């Protein structure tokens, strides 16, 4: 029994040893197989391991490039932007051109450049093939190894968290009398490229359907720029387009980075910040960043605007408004606004990013559109300057003046250049587009803008006289006395080809800028009152360029909106004023430092009837215009 028991124990030991050996062989097999060095002789393993490492490092580098460039290593054919739409086919980010996934081309065509996964894999394949020729075996060759290989073919598969790489390449290694050959190689790397790409597609799809970036932008536009409103004031409202652009740029820079894709990578500091949270149907377990730079191109156009200014004139000081007797300023501005946003997904040192163009079309988010990847050529007005013309600019004493020249046809303006002084002339010889009834526009610092109508397209030269602006202090009198608690609104309409007008509010504005010319001057003086007027609703319309290509060629359409005027207490009513036609000479402006407008006093009205009477008196009473 003891012997049998001892024998039994001996068999068990043998089985255990055999089992351990088998497990070791299995482990060794999988270890060797996973690194694809199974069957590689010990003497050649350092060389072969380096070969696999070279494939892996090239794959990692290619994956990083793909992530940094929206799934591209080689960018699509470059498509330049234009003055009309300043976006090329790629966004310059830290000196690298990143292809847009969505953009609007120079000629207004919507285009998408979202790469398919197979296209990404093919680009990675080509990158690995190109880079493998730089695998440096020189250290091994110094040791006596001979390495011979032919052109490889590569096939990659991008998974959620890994990239599998299959390489077909005859690799022959020899050392002394030893020899090894292998023609099929496989390896893999850890990479979040596939996971990032899949999630980026989800974010892009949700954005393209719901346009959450455009919706945020509409809110920014209405919060930081004048769009439509009514203000009770008798002073005109004037905004510089450049200032509005700067305000919007700052607002976009501050608000776009606050957007978050719902996930666990952030903590809301307050419930109000849920406004910036976007649900794409799957929580993000890595960082998602929305980035905008003020240095990137932006398109902003606003209607109505003229010479860089947006003006809203007061209602209540014009003729035939009868019973109003008070002032309010309604305004409605229509914007086209477009800018890029870079969407970034990142975790650790891995990242995937792609840019899109955000587009607000006539105050509204763009409509989801069927994209067109086929280039279409649409002639742009400014690219087809076909007619020679010489433009000369002078002041009223015929001294030459250097001026900036533009040509405007419908709503399209083309910069022509500057006139330059040579001797007694200031001229510019250039070409202009073929456009009947277009305007030549000359601007120079210290002078009124001059417009010249080109009704005759055979005209080969144009002579523009710019009128100098003079600054004077301003005083307004009523009944011979300077205004104290009351205020006045002065309207200067310059009679001529363009009938330009300037409105001044006194005493808020105690200085006035005028140029020589024939003016129709109207003064409205207001005092405190408590007259009640009933509300009303009126419709107001503005002309804006049509959407798409029709807008490029200058066609417009009417956009109308209802303007509601609520019940009002007229706290300021007309108590004096008058009208005067007056030709202001250059000598009066150059030899004077003060302009005094003296108006009649009508008395403060206490009823709507008296208000109507005072208002009608504006057109029947003269003003006295005094230069000192």
- Distance, in Å, from the CA atom of 161 to the CA atom of 234, rounded to the nearest integer, reads 66
Whether residues 430 and 488 share a domain: the answer is no
Strand segments, DSSP code E, in 348-403 are 350-361, 364-365, 385-395
What is the structure's pLDDT at 190? Answer: 95
User: Do residues 284 and 261 lie in contact, with contact meaning Cβ atoms separated by under 8 Å?
Assistant: yes
Q: Is residue 376's pLDDT more than 50?
A: no
Q: Is residue 222's pLDDT more than 70?
A: yes
More confident residue, 23 or 478: 478
Please identify, among 432, 448, 466, the residue that sits at the C-terminal boundary of a domain: 466
Q: Tokens 């407008």, residue?
A: 597
Q: What is the mean pLDDT of residues 101-114?
A: 90
28-37, 467-476, 523-532, 592-601: segment of lowest average pLDDT: 28-37
For residue 375, being part of any structural domain is answered with no
What is the structure's pLDDT at 162? Answer: 96
What is the structure's pLDDT at 2? Answer: 34
Q: How many CA atoms lie within 13 A of 518 on its CB side?
A: 6
pLDDT band at 127 (very low <50, low <70, confident <90, very high): very high
Whether residues 270 and 332 share a domain: the answer is yes
pLDDT band at 615 (very low <50, low <70, confident <90, very high): confident
pLDDT band at 65 (very low <50, low <70, confident <90, very high): very high
Please identify, among 170, 188, 206, the residue that sits at the C-terminal boundary of a domain: 188
> Residue 69 CA to chain centroid, in angstroms?
20
Structure tokens, 25 = 């062989």
What is the structure's pLDDT at 544? Answer: 58
Whether residues 436 and 494 share a domain: the answer is no
Domain that holds residue 5: 1-34
For residue 372, being part of any structural domain is answered with no
Distances (CA, A) of 612 to 479, 521, 527, 531, 615: 20, 21, 15, 12, 5
pLDDT band at 394 (very low <50, low <70, confident <90, very high): very high
Q: What is the mean pLDDT of residues 55-80?
A: 94
Q: How many CA atoms lie within 13 A of 555 on its CB side?
A: 7
User: Do residues 43 and 49 lie in contact, with contact meaning Cβ atoms separated by under 8 Å?
Assistant: no
User: Do residues 355 and 100 lie in contact, with contact meaning Cβ atoms separated by under 8 Å?
Assistant: yes
Whether residues 148 and 53 share a domain: the answer is yes
Q: Is residue 413's pLDDT more than 90?
A: no
140-154, 536-550, 583-597: segment of lowest average pLDDT: 536-550
Whether residues 205 and 323 share a domain: the answer is yes
Structure tokens, 569 = 């207490």
Whether residues 132 and 223 share a domain: the answer is no
For 501, the enclosing helix (H) or strand (E) is: strand 501-506
Taking each helix axis from N to C terminus, what angle separates 117-132 and 45-68, rounded to the nearest 10 degrees?
130
What is the structure's pLDDT at 449? Answer: 84
Q: What is the mean pLDDT of residues 397-402?
A: 90
For residue 147, being part of any structural domain is answered with yes
Q: Is residue 35's pLDDT more than 60?
A: no
Q: Is residue 69's pLDDT more than 50?
A: yes
Q: Is residue 88's pLDDT more than 60?
A: yes
Please identify, among 317, 332, 365, the residue that sits at the C-terminal boundary of a domain: 365
275: helix, coil or strand? helix
For residue 374, being part of any structural domain is answered with no
27-31, 102-106, 397-401: segment of lowest average pLDDT: 27-31
Beta bridge pairs of residue 342: 291, 355
pLDDT band at 38 (very low <50, low <70, confident <90, very high): low
Q: How many CA atoms lie within 13 A of 405 on its CB side?
A: 27
Q: What is the mean pLDDT of residues 130-153?
A: 91
What is the structure's pLDDT at 271? Answer: 83
Q: What is the mean pLDDT of residues 568-589?
A: 85
Determine how many CB atoms are found less than 10 A away from the CB of residue 446.
13
More confident residue, 560 or 593: 593
Buried b (16+ CB within 10 A) or exposed e, 347-358: eeebbbbbbbbb
Q: Choose from 20-34, 197-211, 358-372 the range with maximum mean pLDDT.
A: 197-211
Whether residues 488 and 462 share a domain: the answer is no
User: Do residues 229 and 566 lie in contact, with contact meaning Cβ atoms separated by under 8 Å?
Assistant: no
Whether residues 181 and 201 share a domain: the answer is no
For residue 221, being part of any structural domain is answered with yes
For residue range 191-206, what is the model confidence (pLDDT) as tens digits?
A: 999 999 999 999 999 9
47-51, 274-278, 284-288, 458-462: segment of lowest average pLDDT: 458-462
For residue 258, being part of any structural domain is answered with yes
Q: Is residue 479's pLDDT more than 50?
A: yes
18-32, 133-147, 254-268: segment of lowest average pLDDT: 18-32
Q: Which of 172, 163, 135, 146 is nearest to 54 (CA)?
A: 135
Whether residues 212 and 234 share a domain: the answer is yes
244: helix, coil or strand? helix
Structure tokens, 389 = 């013309």
Q: Is residue 207's pLDDT more than 70?
A: yes
Q: Is residue 304's pLDDT more than 80?
A: yes
pLDDT band at 82 (very low <50, low <70, confident <90, very high): confident
Beta bridge pairs of residue 168: 153, 184
More confident residue, 468 or 503: 468
131-140, 309-318, 352-361, 459-468: segment of lowest average pLDDT: 309-318
Structure tokens, 212 = 């959450």
For residue 240, being part of any structural domain is answered with yes
Whether residues 489 and 549 share a domain: the answer is yes
69-83, 236-250, 291-305, 483-497: segment of lowest average pLDDT: 483-497
Angle at 347 between CA 344 and CA 348, to 5 degrees: 125
Long-range CB contact pairs, 78-82, < 8 A, 24+: 79/105, 79/106, 79/111, 79/375, 80/106, 81/105, 81/106, 81/297, 82/106, 82/107, 82/380
- Distance, in Å, from the CA atom of 531 to the CA atom of 625, rounded to the nearest integer, reads 31
How many structural domains does the chain have? 5
What is the structure's pLDDT at 60? Answer: 95
Determine how many CB atoms are found less than 10 A away from the CB of residue 170.
13
Find the CATH number of the domain harbouring 430. Answer: 2.60.40.1120
If phi > 0 it is left, if psi is from -120 to 50 it is alpha, else beta; for residue 238 that is beta
Q: Is residue 248's pLDDT more than 90?
A: yes
- Distance, in Å, from the CA atom of 299 to the CA atom of 103, rounded to the nearest integer, reads 12
What is the structure's pLDDT at 305? Answer: 86
Q: Is residue 63's pLDDT more than 60?
A: yes
Q: Choose from 325-339, 420-434, 599-613 the range with maximum mean pLDDT.
A: 420-434
Average model confidence (pLDDT) across the chain: 82
233-242, 244-253, 421-430, 550-559: segment of lowest average pLDDT: 550-559
Q: Give just the sign of the alpha carbon dihedral 26, 30, 32, 36.
A: positive
Taking each helix axis from N to C terminus, what angle separates 193-210 and 45-68, rounded to the nearest 10 degrees?
10
Share of the chain above pLDDT 70, in %: 82
More confident residue, 466 or 63: 63
For residue 95, being part of any structural domain is answered with no
Whether residues 169 and 205 share a domain: the answer is no
Residues, the chain? 628
Q: What is the mean pLDDT of residues 258-277?
A: 89
CA dihedral angle for residue 69, residue 72, residue 76, residue 80, rounded to 10 degrees? 0
Beta bridge pairs of residue 450: 442
Strand segments, DSSP code E, in 191-235 are 228-231
More confident residue, 12 or 282: 282
Contacts of 335 (CB under 8 A, 6+ apart): 221, 225, 227, 300, 301, 302, 360, 362, 363
User: Do residues 91 and 97 lie in contact, with contact meaning Cβ atoms separated by under 8 Å?
Assistant: yes
Whether residues 493 and 549 share a domain: the answer is yes
77-81, 428-432, 463-467, 569-573: segment of lowest average pLDDT: 569-573
């Amino acid at each position: 029994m003891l012997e049998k028991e001892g024998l039994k124990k001996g068999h068990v030991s043998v089985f255990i040893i055999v089992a351990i050996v088998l497990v070791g062989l299995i482990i060794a097999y999988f270890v060797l197989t996973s690194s694809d060095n199974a069957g590689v002789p010990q003497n050649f393993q350092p060389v072969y391991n380096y070969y696999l490492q070279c494939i892996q490092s090239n794959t990692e580098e290619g994956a990083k490039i793909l992530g940094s460039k929206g799934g591209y290593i080689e960018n699509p054919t470059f498509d330049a932007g234009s003055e009309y739409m300043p976006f090329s086919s790629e966004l310059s980010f830290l000196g690298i051109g990143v292809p847009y996934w969505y953009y609007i081309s120079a000629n207004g065509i919507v285009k998408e450049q979202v790469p398919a996964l197979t296209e990404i894999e093919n680009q990675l394949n080509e990158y690995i093939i190109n880079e493998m020729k730089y695998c440096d075996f020189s250290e091994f060759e110094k040791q006596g190894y001979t390495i011979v290989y032919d052109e490889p073919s590569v096939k990659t598969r991008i998974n959620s968290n890994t990239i599998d790489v299959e390489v077909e390449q005859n690799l022959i290694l020899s050392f002394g009398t030893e020899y090894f050959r292998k023609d099929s190689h496989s390896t893999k790397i850890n990479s979040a490229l596939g996971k990032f790409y899949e999630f980026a597609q989800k974010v892009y799809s949700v954005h393209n359907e719901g346009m959450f970036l455009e919706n945020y932008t509409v809110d920014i536009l209405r919060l930081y720029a004048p769009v439509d409103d009514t203000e009770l004031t008798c002073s005109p409202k004037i905004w510089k387009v450049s200032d509005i652009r700067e305000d919007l740029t700052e607002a976009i820079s501050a608000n776009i980075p606050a957007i978050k894709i719902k996930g666990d990578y952030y903590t809301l500091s307050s419930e109000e910040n849920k406004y910036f949270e976007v649900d794409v149907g799957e929580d993000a377990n890595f960082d998602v960043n929305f980035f905008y730079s003020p240095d990137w191109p932006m398109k902003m156009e606003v209607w109505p605007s003229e010479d860089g200014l947006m003006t809203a004139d007061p209602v209540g000081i014009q003729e035939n408004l009868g019973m109003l007797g008070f002032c309010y300023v309604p305004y409605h501005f229509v914007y086209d606004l477009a800018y890029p946003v870079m969407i970034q997904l990142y975790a650790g040192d891995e990242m995937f990013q792609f840019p899109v163009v955000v587009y607000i079309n006539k105050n509204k988010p763009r409509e989801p559109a069927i994209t067109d990847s086929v280039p279409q050529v649409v002639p742009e007005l400014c690219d087809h300057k076909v007619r020679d013309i010489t433009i000369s600019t002078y002041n009223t004493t015929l001294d030459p003046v250097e001026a900036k020249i533009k040509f405007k046809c419908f709503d399209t303006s083309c910069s022509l250049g500057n006139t330059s002084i040579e001797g007694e002339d200031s001229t510019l010889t250039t070409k202009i587009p073929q456009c009947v009834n277009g305007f030549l526009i000359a601007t120079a610092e210290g002078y009124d803008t001059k417009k010249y109508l080109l009704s005759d397209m055979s005209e080969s030269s144009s002579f523009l006289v710019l009128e100098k602006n003079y600054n004077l202090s301003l005083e307004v009198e009523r009944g011979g006395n300077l205004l104290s608690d009351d205020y006045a609104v002065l309207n200067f309409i310059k009679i001529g080809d363009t009938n330009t007008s300037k409105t001044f509010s006194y005493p808020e504005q105690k200085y006035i800028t005028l140029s020589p010319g024939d003016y129709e001057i109207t003064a409205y003086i207001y005092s405190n009152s408590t007259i009640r007027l009933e509300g009303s609703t009126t419709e107001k319309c503005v002309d804006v360029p049509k959407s798409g290509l029709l807008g490029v060629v200058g066609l417009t359409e009417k956009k109308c909106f209802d303007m509601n005027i609520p019940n009002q207490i007229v706290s300021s009513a007309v108590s004096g004023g008058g009208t005067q036609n007056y030709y202001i000479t250059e000598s009066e402006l150059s030899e004077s430092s003060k302009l005094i407008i003296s108006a009649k006093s009508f008395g403060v009205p206490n009823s709507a009837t008296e208000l109507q009477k005072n208002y009608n008196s504006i057109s029947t009473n003269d003003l006295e215009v005094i230069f000192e």
